[in-house]
Amino acid sequence: MSRSRTKYFWAALVALVAVILSASAWAQQAMPPQQRMPQGAVNQPSARTPGGGSGQIAMRVDGEKYGPVEMRRDGKEFRGEFWVANDGTGPLNVTRLALRTSATDPRLPGGAIVAFDDGKTIATIQPNAAKKAIVRWEVDKAGGVTELYGHVIAESDTSDRRVAAMGIHAEVELGGSPWLFNHILSWLTFLPVLGMLAIFVMYLMGYKKDENLKWLGVGLMGVELILAIWLFWAYNNGIGRAAGNDGFQFIEHGVWIRSLNVEYFVGVDGTSISMVLLTALVSFVASIASFSVKTKLKGYWAMYFLLVTGMFGVFVSLDLFLFYMFWEIMLLPMYFLIGIWGGPRKEYAAIKFFLYTLAGSVFMLLAFIALYYNADPTYLVDGSPVLHSFSIPELMRVDFLGKNLTILTMSFVKVIWVVLFVGFAIKVPMFPFHTWLPDAHVEAPTAISVILAGVLLKMGTYGMLRLNFGLLPEATQWAAPAIAVFGVINILYGAFCAMAQEDLKRLVAYSSVSHMGYCLLAMGALTPHGIEAAIVQMFNHGTITSMLFTLVGVVYDRAHTREIGKFGGMATEMPFYTAFFGFAFMASLGLPGMSGFIGEALTFVGAFPVYPVMTILAASGVIFTAAYHLWAMQRIFLGKFREDWRTSHALEDTGGKFPEMNFREAMSLAPMAIIVLVLGFWPRPLLNLIDTGVMDLTALVNPPGASQIAHLGDMASKALALLH
């Protein structure tokens, strides 16, 4: 098809799709309203005559059955109104109108109040009449929380004693442009999709100068980085679960697929904020490193943008279905990015990566569906009652263990926990599911290796923290020793394998396996220090490993080989590069003064009280880590420079000399290097971010016993003081 005709086709087909969608929407309208009842919704009771109340409660806002009530700013407080109506045939006694929160289970931030317009919380409503109710929120009493998502519930004397609910929502306008800053997470996630659409339009218009696409890439990633930095600045460190909204900030919550009870629910808390920042940083650095890609740039950047969308989406989504969609969306771009722009064995590496990850995630899907169907009845964000929900904060409240469910005669929580764990363990990668990593890393182009090691590996441990620890804490306690054991195996096995490598990139890949082992060991300890160490290690390893892969890419671009044995004495040829490389390797082996040390030290502090023997083994792993790092450095940079490089084919263009690092390569390394150095001496910014989240998570999996509660405040502040 010629180019001009293609345009008409695309236009015709967009029109066709629009026609189909509007036809189906019309068809839905044409159906009588009761057909639009959501699946799994609790039926409205029909009015029944004697015995019990014959009223029928319905809560409405602006005449609509579904909310949420949008509260508007009114001076120092937010105000919203809605109606409590009686659709039945008899009088309705509302016995309690209250917010859906309690002291033991704080769901809403402080300062919110609901009452009827006469100030009371009980009322009697006549048939076919409605009474206005007002909900108010004094923001100053909320302790720094800037938004409110919740429900107002009304208990009444209807014959089925059903509790009716109406969603409420209030948001403080952030920054100067609320359309941007109040939806910062959606912007972060979907801005790259706009980039993809831009590339598509360029393709349709026959844009030929593909070299300029890299500026689009860097520019877009730069904008994302700026948004992420704003997010970091605006994030309130002190907000935890007790402060309301389950400890999440920058929430966006709306019903997406009513028939499945799926919501568009995104937010960040202490566990995920560092990952969002890491993703922005690594994407930016990798986009600069992508300058070395020369062919098929439109496809490359389209896939790159889709990958970034997927990554952000996974870290911010709080709905299991949304989480799964974003998780799977990453697989396709990775397959193409490795398979088209990769090294000699790219197809094998790409399909291996795809198969491994898909195998893990399809079982995750089954686990998600099982969790969904065994969840407790709750309400969607607009107040509609549902029998099951995919929402992660709601699922965190369900006591799965207490339901005594079984799958194939095994305990439900244990099976689901293992299934989820295996799915995430493949990504971590955890021994014995790690075999995809060396191939994928080695064959992927530099920028993709950076993203793979910097962010994708962290998704495994993030998933474990958010889902395994968060949803199934009792099973986590059951499996914690196993996690720690696998962590130690990772550390030692990764180190030993790295020592045996001849290919520099493979060595770095195995060092990633080893470093993720520290995360697992720390997580398995279930102590506050341990979990904090895991998140810190995740962030720090992301920054350090980005540097490492970029550096490997630098030398590969020049020498077209990565074999350690072929190099030697590079310090004389590329001194600047040697300095960077030395810095990166020192950071990777955990030299005090750089951020890697903080992660490892916290791991040992956190794990030693619980698993002394394993911590000692892990500490000995540090020796092996140092061994292969220093050995590799010695073989590459020190010693005599091999003269046969002077006349080699690879260095023909540069006259037998190794050109020094250029400005672009230095720019792709500098941000990470600065962060690594700063966080090594002053980890407080990072630790402040994650402290509250860590304490909430630890309270979940390692709840203090009765005697410890009194000491907890004391101990916690002392422990945290040690870190600062």
Partner 1 sequence: MNSFSLDNLQSLTWFFPEIAITVGVIAVIIWDLISAGLNRIRGIVVITLASLLTSGFLSLAYLMRQLAGLTPSMSLFGGLLAFDPFSHLFRMLFAFVAAIVIVFASPSSETGAGTRKRRGAGEFFTLLLIITLGLNLMVMSRNLLMIYLSLEVVSVISFVMAGFKIDNRKSAEGALKYVIFGGMASGIMLYGMSWLFGISQSLDIGEIGNQIAMATAQNGRVPLVILLGVVCMLGGLGYKISAAPFHMWTPDVYEGAPTSITAFLSVGPKAAGFAVLIRFFEEGVKATTHYDGRLTPWAMIAGLIAMATMTVGNFTALHQSNIKRMLAFSSIAHAGYMLLGFCVFDQQGKQAIMFYLLTYALMNLGAFLVVAAVAERNGGNEDIATYNGLGSRSPVLAIMMAIFLFSLTGLPPFAGFIGKFYIFASLLHVGGRWNWILATVGVLNSVVSLFYYARVVRAMYLTKPDDKRALTVRVSWGTTIVALAVPTLALGIYWAPIYDFMTASLLIGR
Judged by the rule CB under 8 A, the positions of this chain that interact with partner 1 are 1, 5-6, 9-10, 12-14, 16-17, 20-21, 24-25, 27-28, 30-32, 35-36, 39, 257-259, 324-325, 328-329, 331-332, 335-336, 339-340, 346-347, 350-351, 354-355, 358-359, 362-363, 365-366, 369-370, 372-373, 407-409
Nearer to partner 1, 37 or 163 (CB): 37
What is the C-alpha separation between 254 and 434, in angstroms, rounded? Answer: 38
Nearer to partner 1, 204 or 623 (CB): 204
The residue written with tokens 């020049």 in the block is: 558
Nearer to partner 1, 242 or 387 (CB): 387
Whether the Cβ atoms of residue 651 and residue 658 lie closer than 8 Å to each other: yes
Nearest to 164 by CA among 117, 96, 258, 89: 96
Tokens matching residue 255: 């019903």
Minimal distance, residue 358 CB to partner 1, in Å: 5
What is the C-alpha separation between 444 and 201, in angstroms, rounded? Answer: 28
Minimal distance, residue 448 CB to partner 1, in Å: 15
Residue type, 537: Q
The residue written with tokens 């969308």 in the block is: 309
Minimal distance, residue 435 CB to partner 1, in Å: 16
Minimal distance, residue 318 CB to partner 1, in Å: 18
Minimal distance, residue 37 CB to partner 1, in Å: 9
Tokens matching residue 680: 């090594």
Minimal distance, residue 372 CB to partner 1, in Å: 8
Nearest to 361 by CA among 336, 312, 326: 326
Tokens matching residue 200: 């598509």
Nearer to partner 1, 347 or 660 (CB): 347
* Exposed / middle / buried, residue 455 (Cβ in 10 Å: 0-12, 13-18, 19+): buried
Contacts (Cβ under 8 Å, ≥6 apart) of 457: 427, 428, 429, 512, 516, 541
- E strands, 351-504, are 378-379, 385-386, 406-407, 410-411
DSSP 49: -
Minimal distance, residue 296 CB to partner 1, in Å: 9
The half-sphere exposure of 451 on its side-chain side, counting CA atoms within 13 A, is 29
Nearer to partner 1, 19 or 229 (CB): 19
The residue written with tokens 């890439």 in the block is: 217
Does 429 sit behind a cis peptide bond, omega within 30 degrees of 0 on the bond before it? yes
Nearest to 286 by CA among 549, 673, 50: 549
Distance of CA 120 to the CA centre of its chain: 43
What is the C-alpha separation between 547 and 673, in angstroms, rounded? Answer: 7
DSSP 162: P
Minimal distance, residue 24 CB to partner 1, in Å: 4
Q: Where does 567-662 have alpha helices with state H? A: 570-573, 575-589, 595-607, 612-637
Minimal distance, residue 18 CB to partner 1, in Å: 10
Whether the Cβ atoms of residue 55 and residue 156 lie closer than 8 Å to each other: yes
Minimal distance, residue 363 CB to partner 1, in Å: 6
Angle between helices 270-289 and 684-701 (to 10 degrees): 130
What is the C-alpha separation between 585 and 599, in angstroms, rounded? Answer: 15
Q: How many helices (H) and strands (E) does the chain have?
A: 25, 16
Minimal distance, residue 338 CB to partner 1, in Å: 10
Nearer to partner 1, 346 or 558 (CB): 346
Nearer to partner 1, 34 or 707 (CB): 34
Minimal distance, residue 156 CB to partner 1, in Å: 29
Minimal distance, residue 466 CB to partner 1, in Å: 19
Minimal distance, residue 1 CB to partner 1, in Å: 5
Nearer to partner 1, 260 or 616 (CB): 260
Minimal distance, residue 257 CB to partner 1, in Å: 5
* Exposed / middle / buried, residue 13 (Cβ in 10 Å: 0-12, 13-18, 19+): exposed
Contacts (Cβ under 8 Å, ≥6 apart) of 456: 311, 330, 334, 427
Nearer to partner 1, 257 or 626 (CB): 257
The residue written with tokens 């697929």 in the block is: 257
Minimal distance, residue 471 CB to partner 1, in Å: 17
Angle between helices 270-289 and 297-316 (to 10 degrees): 170
Q: What angle do CA 601, 693, 306 make, to 5 degrees?
A: 95
What is the C-alpha separation between 164 and 384, in angstroms, rounded? Answer: 9
Nearer to partner 1, 71 or 303 (CB): 303
DSSP 77: E
Minimal distance, residue 520 CB to partner 1, in Å: 25
Nearer to partner 1, 13 or 482 (CB): 13
Nearer to partner 1, 382 or 532 (CB): 382
What is the strand order of the sheet 92-99 is part of? 69-70, 164-171, 147-156, 92-99, 123-125
Nearer to partner 1, 299 or 704 (CB): 299
Does 377 sit behind a cis peptide bond, omega within 30 degrees of 0 on the bond before it? no
Nearer to partner 1, 210 or 347 (CB): 347
Nearer to partner 1, 169 or 258 (CB): 258
- Give phi and psi for 456, each to the nearest 5: -60, -35
- Give phi and psi for 151, each to the nearest 5: -140, 150
Q: How many CB atoms lie within 10 A of CB 586?
A: 22
Nearer to partner 1, 7 or 79 (CB): 7
What is the C-alpha separation between 702 and 494, in angstroms, rounded? Answer: 29
Nearer to partner 1, 230 or 363 (CB): 363
Nearer to partner 1, 3 or 684 (CB): 3
Specify the pairing of strand 164-171 against strand 69-70.
Answer: parallel
Minimal distance, residue 206 CB to partner 1, in Å: 12
